[in-house]
Amino acid sequence: MAPRSSAAETQQTRQRRHSSIDIAVEAKSALDLATHQTYDENVFLFVPNLIGYARIILAGLALNYMPEHPKACTLLYGISCLLDAVDGMAARSLGQTSKFGAVLDMVTDRCTTSCLLCFLSSTYPSFALFFQFLITLDFSSHYMHMYRSAFDPQGHELHADNVSGHHCLFGHSFKVPS
């Protein structure tokens, strides 16, 4: 096998580098098209997302204080939960709703709830199976909600009116008592 010339290797390296840049640009364009959201300002600095970051810090502190300082933990966790309501109201009132903010909010909720339930499982081992069930219920219900929202062709919100005919679980879980 004959050795390659360095000019040919340089040309191939440039072509590989150029094609990987094209792939990265195409992937970013595909992501932008998939999300259908464009922003004139930085979405990471939207007020609701800043509130979300504060929630993460407060939840982290609460989890840190759980074993030794239950009152401090309860206060920090409670403030984090209250801010959960505030960030949604801020997003809608300021017109700063974003898919990033929705994901940040959902992931923060799932993580803090799971951490609390795991701590309770270790503190009260006789109830561990019950706490594990609650974690499973929390994750599965939010997954179904997210799945339903993502694949609704009309973009409707999730309500009992437009869900009942689509899936037996949704029909039962979203029926409003008369």
Active site residues: 109
CA separation for the pair 114, 139 (Å, rounded) = 9
State the residue for tokens 């799932």. Answer: 110
CA separation for the pair 111, 59 (Å, rounded) = 9
Do residues 37 and 69 touch, judged by C-beta distance below 8 A? Answer: no
Q: Show Cβ contacts of residue 171 under 8 Å, excluding neighbours closer than 6 positions.
A: 163, 164, 165
